[in-house]
Amino acid sequence: MKKIILTSAFIVFTIALSGLSHAKVTGVCYNCHTMHNSQGGAAMAYQLKATLDGFEADQTPNPCLLTYDCIGCHFSSTANTIVSNTPIVLNSTAPASPLAGGNFYWSLSDNKKGHNVYGITAQEGSPMDAPPGFKASASLPSSYGTGPASWATQLNCAGVYGCHGDRTQGATAATVVEAMRGSHHTDDSAIDGTSTGKSYRFLRGVNGVELNAAGYKWEQTANSTNHNGYKGGATPGTTTDSISYLCGSCHGNFHGHGNLGGSSEVGSSSPWFRHPSDLAFSGVGGGYGGSEYAAYTSYSTTAPVALSTPSTSTSTVDSGSMVICLSCHRAHGSPYYKMLRWDYKSATLSTALSGCNVCHTSKN
């Protein structure tokens, strides 16, 4: 039978009717589901070709009767990062306005610039086939179970070996949808971490405030008064529902919470062993007043900070503002080494320091 080859224009066409009500999919069911994966005897499910230049028919039906897998819907061959109200995290051409998590585009050419997720790039060789700083059986955000006892599989979007969804379900790429079940149809206008759908960006157990303002959604653009509201902890041991605790649930040794690396790996005050995350400026050595951190006063999208009660519009940075993993990193990928938010390896000193200097205002 003739192979059906489609481009991402098909997605634009098929889910163009998706409504714009925030964070809950709308539109006709057949935009996203196929009842039998068969019409006129031909498959109705499609998968992204390995060459990223279009889709091909997928004879194997997908869980939840879906027409695409995660990457299939969250991909575009254009430079656009929101297509039919779908947040795009993998573009096959340089994204024009990457979303808050960055983009997996850069990991295609250099695996050190992004997480290497199944279906996008190959798994890295040892020791990078596992999360650096891995902590076995770590307690997951908001105590939603424990992580894997050992790291066997390539990183997935969701599930046991992934970041999104219920991380006690969906251990293989074929079953990750289990971990997400119900989330896309949840009204998550209020995030409280009580379910996957009502967690920050479907990161189960993580709190925060999602930026939904028109023109700024998913931080397609962001500034000091329109940005995601990250949840942080005042000291590393304070909270398990922060975005940094999520990162630490795999990269355990890099987070100072007692469930994770703790004070022996990270420290609990200056002098630190590893760079702190989930630490408020109020806790810096010598006190906040007069410290170099007191000169960071207006929220910077280069080196953002978190709050214990986050908001999307707080522009004031003060003693309650917290350094987090995302002060320095993007979650998916960035144009820079180690998914950093700026070019820390630049030969131009001012560029290399540009992010560090947002907080360390007296260091050059």
Structure tokens at 134: 């891995």
Report the C-alpha gap between 255 and 276 in whole angstroms: 7
State both tokens at 2.
């003739």
The amino acid that residue 285 corresponds to is: G
Q: With respect to ligand HEC, which residue has the nearer C-beta, 73 or 92?
A: 73
We find the least distance from the C-beta atom of residue 321 to ligand HEC, in angstroms, to be: 8
- Exactly one of 70, 83, 138, 206 binds ligand HEC (CB under 6 A); which one? 70
Q: What tokens appear for 204 in the block?
A: 């189960």
Figure out which of the listed residues 23, 48, 88, 100 binds ligand HEC, where binding follows CB under 6 A: 23
Residues 152-211 that bind ligand HEC (CB under 6 A): 155, 157-158, 162-164, 176-177, 180-185, 188, 201-202, 210
For tokens 């006129």, the residue is 40
Q: Read off the amino acid at residue 173.
A: A
For 51, residues 6+ apart whose C-beta sits below 8 A from its C-beta are none
Which CB atom, from 2 or from 303, has the smaller least distance to ligand HEC?
Answer: 303
Nearest distance from C-beta of residue 1 to ligand HEC, angstroms: 24
Query: How far, CA to CA in Å, does 148 sit from each of 157, 163, 168, 192, 317?
Result: 15, 12, 8, 25, 37
**Alpha carbon 297 to its chain's center:** 26
Block residue for tokens 């995660």? 70
Residue 135 corresponds to which tokens in the numbers above? 């902590």
Residue 237, sorted as left (phi over 0), alpha (psi -120 to 50) or beta, turns out to be alpha
Which of 216, 265, 356, 361 binds ligand HEC (CB under 6 A)? It is: 356
Q: Is 135 in the site for ligand HEC (CB under 6 A)?
A: no
Residue whose tokens read 């560090």? 356
Q: To the nearest whole angstrom, how small is the minimum distance from the Cβ of residue 14 to ligand HEC? A: 9
Number of residues this chain uses to bind ligand HEC (CB under 6 A): 86
- Map the footprint of ligand HEC across residues 251-310, applying CB under 6 A: 251, 254-255, 269-272, 275-277, 279, 281, 284-285, 293, 303, 305
Q: Which two tokens stand for residue 327?
A: 């002060």
Select 32 or 92, whichever has its Cβ closest to ligand HEC: 32
Residue 66 in contact with ligand HEC, rule: CB under 6 A? yes
68 binds ligand HEC (CB under 6 A): yes
Site for ligand HEC in 43-62 (CB under 6 A): none
